Amino acid sequence: MATRKILEFGRDDMLRKHSRAVEKFDRRLWTLLDDMADTMYEADGAGLAAVQVGVLKRCVVIDVGDGLIELVNPEIVASEGEMINAEGCLSVPGRRGTVKRPERVTVRAQDRKGRPVEVKGEGFLTMALCHELDHLDGVLYVDKMIEDVTDREEDV
């Protein structure tokens, strides 16, 4: 396991590309997921998409404090409610902004071995799920940002 370089918005166009579905569930994928988790934890993040480390595969890792979640080929299949919260991003260092997201989501995906999984989230987990899945389609939170709150202490 190793950490990888996190791509930064404005410096790398790859963040704007659509990620491709994972078809092979092999040691290369497992190494990628392990490296993504190491990279996320090293950067003190709550989530990371493969594209953020330069790999155009539809996989994300998330840990909002309840343990590591690995999702391969994830898709939101249900959402409800609405919330607005401040977000940041490891690929947009030093900035924060408010974004409107669903209050609750259900995500279907596969685990590292290709088995189906379902994650239901609310609150911070929903925000992380939506944020990371956006990355897979080349969308960053700054694209949906309502207001830049970078310099507001209460939002940091």
Please give the mean pLDDT across all residues of the chain.
Answer: 96
CB 72 within 8 A of CB 29: yes
Domain ranges of the chain: 13-155
Q: What is the pLDDT of residues 129-148, one digit of tens each?
A: 999 999 999 999 999 999 99
Q: Within 10 Å of residue 120's Cβ, how many Cβ atoms?
A: 12
| 135 belongs to an annotated ligand binding site | yes
- Kindly state the DSSP code that residue 45 receives in the 8-state scheme: -
| 18 belongs to an annotated ligand binding site | no
Give 153's pLDDT tier (boundaries 50, 70, 90): low
- Kindly state the DSSP code that residue 34 receives in the 8-state scheme: H
* Residue 16 to residue 135: CA distance in whole angstroms: 8
Provide the annotated active-site residues. 132
Residues in the chain: 156
Q: Within 10 Å of residue 145's Cβ, how many Cβ atoms?
A: 18
Give residue 151's pLDDT: 84
Q: What is the mean pLDDT of residues 118-133?
A: 98
CATH architecture of structural domain 13-155 = Alpha-Beta Complex (3.90)
Q: What is the mean pLDDT of residues 75-101?
A: 97
Token pair for residue 55?
A: 């790999």
Helix ranges restricted to H, the chain: 27-42, 124-135, 141-144
Q: What is the pLDDT of residues 44-59, one digit of tens each?
A: 999 999 999 999 999 9
Give residue 154's pLDDT: 53
Give residue 6's pLDDT: 98
Give residue 156's pLDDT: 43
What backbone torsions phi and psi does residue 144 show, to the nearest 5 degrees? -110, 5
Give residue 21's pLDDT: 99
